[in-house]
Structure 1
Amino acid sequence: MKTQRKTPSRRVAFCAAFAVLLSSVGIAHAQDSDEETTSALSIPQDLKIFGENDPNVRRAAVRVNGDIITGTDIDQRLALVLAANTQPMSPEETERLRLQVLRNLIDETLEIQEAKAQEIQVDPAEIEQTYARVAAQNFGQNTQAMDEYLGRIGSSPTSLKRQIEGELAWQRLLRRNVQPYVNVSEEEVNELLARLKASRGTSEYRIGEIYLSANSANRASVFENAKRIVEQLSQGGSFVAYARQFSEASTAAVGGDLGWVRLAQLPTELATVARDMDRGQLVGPVEVPGGFSIIYLIDKRQVLMADPRDALLSLKQISLAFPASTSEQDAQKKAASFAEGVKRIKGCGDADSAADALGASIVTNDNVRIRDLPAPLQQLMLSLQVGETTPPFGSAKEGVSVLMLCGRDEAATNDGPSFDDLMTQIEDERVNKRAQRYLRDLRRDAVIEYN
């Protein structure tokens, strides 16, 4: 008996300031390459454009099958994305982002309209509950604080609640009209489990992806847009926020996170790149069938093997504070003297009294996971033995510290996903692909007027 689950949607545009609201599974690569080509079109190679078209000209409103999207709607939704970006954006980049936000609002409107046409309603109380959950995650259960925050950044509670409504409506529609018609056999799941066990000890990767579809007509412009996204991300932009806003893959709803995948599950172009990536590295745009991908390596581990970085440590942090006026040169001398004193400590049992003698403070934590430590310390802790300390670290302003290892509980062996987990993942991938086609058909049939 499988547990009921929510169906992941194609897109959510919540910015990184908000937690993921609606649970979804996105482990497998779920790109749905557009099967259309321009082969049936009659387009001359030496074409001439008659008239002018400036895509950056703002329009006061857009009417989608009679429903209006105003300029204020666009501005307020754009503010959510801009608030998640740590670097200022140029007017040109902001305007391009505004156009993308408009496209997303059109899709959102089509999703809500289709749900209503299918007599699927979203209770206003359910929207309020979800909104309150976001407030609880970000503002300590204070919806008024989030209302005020949205106002300060130029957005509004109404804009975010509309986004919640669109997501809930689309998920409900997919659960009723798409999910029941997706079938996965037990043989498929068992075959995947067998392949997984056969690959024990090989590497698997947790990858974030931003996928932009392209065809022969718009390939150059999509490539340039992808390059601009990479530039923004390299300057500190939130990968999760950009994935939710720009990515056309089904995993946009979870910030582009593909989950844990093996290279064989990826397109050849991505597998070739991912194989040589380091944790935290960003690469792209990479041309793949149907478009371009920007990928970010979140993590890497061995299939069905215990990850040493999941070990739980018992640590003592011994710290020596510096006076506020300490110069960099004096800090170096004090740190060197402190390091010599630490070397004389005879294990964790001697740490408290030795710290007092050094004029240092000591803090104990018995439940520290190695992967939760800063990256420079992780490798050090993997090779540390009980009673040993890290090299001193700190600054002239914050003082100097060492970590002493007092115990280690090794990570448990990873048994991998269960039968039901794998079946759910395969079903979700297929539902996502059908959802993309469903939305594409809605766009084709829509009557859209730009004022």
Structure 2
Amino acid sequence: MQLISGLTKFFRSGWTNPAIPALTAALVALAPQAHGQSLFSPAIRVNQDIVTWYELQQRQQFLDVLGIPGSSEAEVRQALIDDRLRKQAMRDAGIQAAPEDVQAGIDEFAARGQLSTDQFLQALGDVGVDPETVRDFVADQLSWRDYIAARFISQARPTDDEINRALGQGGGGGLQILLSELIIPVTPQTVAQANALATEISRLDTQDAFSAAATQYSAAATRDNGGRLDWLPITNLPPALQEVILSLKNGQITEPITLPNAVALFQMRGIREVSSGTPRYSKIDYAAYYLPGGRSADSLATAARLKEEIDTCDDLYGVAKDQPAEVLDRVSAATSEIPRDIALELAKLDPNEVSTALTRNNGQTLVFLMMCNRTRDLGEDTSRVDVANALTQQRLQAFAESLLEQLRADAVIIEQ
């Protein structure tokens, strides 16, 4: 059952009868409109069931008193239509909440307001909310939870691979972005020219124009594809850049972004949501192996050969054996603690993938950059069981929403 966070605030603030005039004004809007109608006449017909004017008033009054969002007339109507659809599905399946479970739910509501159950129901009764309104509300939530679990639990349970991915041992999901990039190399002698060029490019107004500029000026490997990147989870990007990117509309370009040895520009090409939740990462594990010669043909050839020879970040320890310690960095850090150019390159990589786009030492050293792993930010004590339960609940919620949409589409609903 979804607990109502506004309850504690309501009762701690001190309930008093002067709230009644405001509630009365709200209830007038829900009064039966046709002459001769009673409070117990149908306000809505949902298939073979009805919702009365009295139920509409009671639900709005209940939500208003507890400070729960969704108490407008339209929202209350939709909520009670959904209630009827859920009850019809549960009735057909023979599922009903046990009386003791309903009572426990009401007790929990009261406890969150630091009241006994009797005090809780009395406070509601003083403003005209019938105890049966509370019981129906709680029973519907509990019954629907049990119904969805019984119907979909086998489909909702995650596999071991899905749990691994949720723990940061694989790719992520959630909100994804589609970008184009343009990276202009900078040396102390070319800073002014690079900044002027980047400013000019940032004023372009089409994707084709940006793509042509990336092909001509970008030093990133994506230049051969007009700077176009594949879909990326937004949380792969450094936190400071996420806000900048999400503020863009399709086709818009960022202002020039200063990086070590470069200036970067990004153009938004699309944004989407995928089925899994957006992950947050507590740590990024990566390796940087430094090759002399910058982007010379010899250094790039060495990097290409090395890429073919190794499979994981740990293999780089063997490559760097007997060399000075500074030729290899193995780092585990939060994204916000990682140099921005490295963080941007890592955002494009899956575990054990490599980038050779970056340099150090004013371009004299090539960075062989390898993504090792991303660790999901799930709390220090998170276990596989915790993750499995969280994924299961997330999927059950998605199944519930999808089923309710289908029930709405199939229903005959007549509103007065």
Alignment TM-score, normalising by the size of structure 2: 0.41
Higher relative contact order (CA 8 A, sep 6+): 1
Alignment TM-score, normalising by the size of structure 1: 0.39
